[in-house]
Each structure stands twice: as structure tokens, then as C-alpha cells.
Amino acid sequence: MEVPATAMASESREMEDSDQAGGNDSSGSGDVLPQPADRKIVYNSTVRMVLKKTSLEKFEVEIETLIKKHSAYKSNGTFNRNQGENRSGTWVIRVPTEQYAVFLPAVKALGVPEEVQENTKDVTAQYVDLEARIANQKRLEERILSVLDEVKGKISEVLQVEQQLARVRETIERLEGQMRVLKDKVTMATLTVHVREDKDYEPPQALSFGERIGEIWGKSIDALVAFAKNLVLFLVAIFPWLLVIVPPLYFLYRFLRRRITKLSVSTTPPVLVEDDVSD
């Protein structure tokens, strides 16, 4: 059976067009989106905590225990252990999605949470679309293989069919790579934990009316003190320039004043005084 390579290429393009159309529909080949219980959710959260009653070393031991208990792992970590400063650290933890709801409260219980940001993203449509596109490309691969087994034309036509096969397989590998990344995000939640030591930390509380007046008064005084400091610094900065600029300006003023006085005297007409004639 002889199959022209041009027909094979046309068939390949038709399959790809239908694949793209299915991808734009975001539901694959007529598939419906999964029910809410089967939806694909990506969790990416951040927790900022203060260690008031414990040390950084103790926190590190406790969080490592939690990581092992919940089958998680630490993907990255940064620490500041300088003496004489409030030490701090950052943990980037990947935890199985089914353990996330239990792991997050357990982490927050290790210190005083300052800020918690829980971000979720529904990627169900993207997941179903990738599955459909991969299935379409694999069906196309099977059809090309069947044609390749039956083709008995020229070597050039065989090579063209093999090129189509290589291109389809490359597309499959790319889509499967995207699916692996997406599955990793769906199955493993990401939790970033920032901690710092502060023995004197006091959680912020709502201020009373009197406390608000005191706070505003204090801020006003601080602003006035800052203005006075900036004014002093400005005067100190311009003082050397005044020593250079003021004396020449003073002598110039005196010189111009004398010139103006002389000119006014020279241009003033003399005043005649008549003597009184007495009889």
C-alpha cells in the first residue's frame, strides 16, 4: 500500500488543528470538568512568625520534626545567625496536598503568627486540557506508525513521514513535561515560613481614643524634631558658602551705594540763597 507523504502531512495538520481546538475549549474531547471534589488546586502560602518564647535552634528542630511527620521536605532554606542581632530564618517547604490542612496550623503553633497569606489556584481546566492534548497527540502518533509500516513509496516519502513522527513525539514530550510540572504543583503544596527572634514582641492591639491621641501627639512631636534637625543640618551645610559669598556681596553693596551717592550729588543743581535787603 502506497501512501503519499503529502497526504500524511495533511492528516497530521488536521489532527493538530483538532487538538488545538480541543485545547481552546479547555475540556478536551468532549469531556466535562471534574466535580468540585476532584478539582486540581495549587496551594502556595506564606507565613511570617515571631519566636518570642523559643529560640531559632529549637524552632528548627520542631519544624524538622513536623516535616518528617507529614512526609514533606525542605526545598530551600536561608538563615541569619549573627550574634547580637535578632536572628531569623526562612524555610520553603513542600508538603503533600492531603497533609496541608493539618501541617499549616501545626507550623503556626510553633510561634506567634504575624502574617498569613494563603493562595490557591484552580488549574482543573489546564489539567484536563493537557490530558486531552496528550491523548490526541498519542493517537496521531499511532496513526503515523501504522502508515509508516505500510508505506512502500520512495525513500524521500518515508523520510517525510518519519519527520512528521519525530515532530509529534517532540510535542508529546513537551506536553508530558508540562503535565509533570503541573502534577507536582497539584500534589505538593508550597509553604514559605519566615521566622525571627524577638523576646520583647507584643502583638498589635486596637488602640483606645486616648491612646490614638497620644500616638498622634507623639508622631507630631517626632515630625517637629525631625524638621528642627533637618533645619540645623541645612544651616550647617550652607554656612561655608555664606563665608565665601557674603563678604563680596557686602563690599559690592558698599561700592554701589557710594557710586549712587556721588552721582546724585553731581546731578543736583546748586541752590541760590538771596540776602534780605533791609531799608
Q: Look at residue 194 in the predicted model and tell me its pLDDT.
A: 92
Same domain, 29 and 161: yes
Q: Which residue has the higher pLDDT, 80 or 172?
A: 172
Per residue in 82-93, pLDDT (tens digit) is 655 678 889 999
Q: Are 79 and 88 in contact (CB under 8 A)?
A: yes
pLDDT of residue 72: 92
How is residue 54 annotated by DSSP? S
Q: Is 133 part of any domain?
A: yes
pLDDT of residue 36: 55
Check pLDDT > 60 for residue 176.
Answer: yes
- 140 and 87: one domain? no
* Same-domain status, 31 and 128: yes
In a shared domain, residues 178 and 108: no
Please say which residue of 186, 219, 235 terminates a domain: 186
Residue 43 to residue 102: CA distance in whole angstroms: 13
What are the percentages of helix, strand and coil residues in the chain, rounded to 5? Answer: 60, 20, 20
Task: Examine the domain organization and report whether 86 and 107 are in the same domain.
Answer: yes
In this structure, is residue 202 part of a structural domain? no
More confident residue, 1 or 113: 113
Q: What are phi and psi of 95, to 5 degrees?
A: -125, 140
Residue 279 lies in a domain: no
Residue 112 and residue 78 share a domain: yes
Provide the pLDDT for residue 192.
Answer: 93
Most confident of 75-79, 254-258, 271-275: 254-258
**Residue 220 counted as domain residue:** yes
Reply yes or no on whether the pLDDT at 265 is more than 60. yes
User: Which residues lie below 8 Å from residue 88, measured CB to CB, with a gap of 6+?
Assistant: 56, 79, 80, 194, 195, 196, 197
- Per the structure, the complete domain to which residue 149 belongs is given by 5-35+124-186
Query: Does residue 231 form part of some domain?
Result: yes
- Residue 93 lies inside a defined structural domain of this protein: yes
pLDDT at 254: 83
Element at 151 (helix H, strand E): none
**Are residues 93 and 51 part of one domain?**
yes
Residues 242 and 181 in one domain: no
User: How does the average pLDDT of the chain come out, rounded?
Assistant: 80
Q: pLDDT value at position 30?
A: 43
Residue 196 has pLDDT above 60, yes or no: yes
Which of 166, 197, 228 lies at the terminal end of a domain, its last residue?
Answer: 197
Within this chain, do residues 65 and 108 fall inside the same structural domain, yes or no? yes
State the angle between helix axes of 5-25 and 155-187 in degrees (0 to 180), rounded to the nearest 10.
20
Quick one: average pLDDT of 19-36?
Answer: 48
Average pLDDT in the 11-26 region?
50
Domain identity same for 45 and 90: yes
- Both 59 and 81 in a single domain? yes
Last residue of a domain, one of 197, 222, 241: 197
Residue 223 has pLDDT above 80, yes or no: yes
Residues 55 and 106 in one domain: yes
pLDDT attached to residue 27:
42
Number of domains in the chain: 3
More confident residue, 36 or 234: 234
How far apart CA 272 and CA 153 sit, in angstroms, is 135
pLDDT at 94 over 90: yes
273 belongs to a structural domain = no
Look up cell 486616648; give the residue.
Answer: 210
With respect to residue 10, please indicate whether it lies within any of the assigned structural domains. yes
Tell me the pLDDT band of 29, cut-offs 50, 70 and 90: very low
What pLDDT sits at residue 250?
Answer: 83
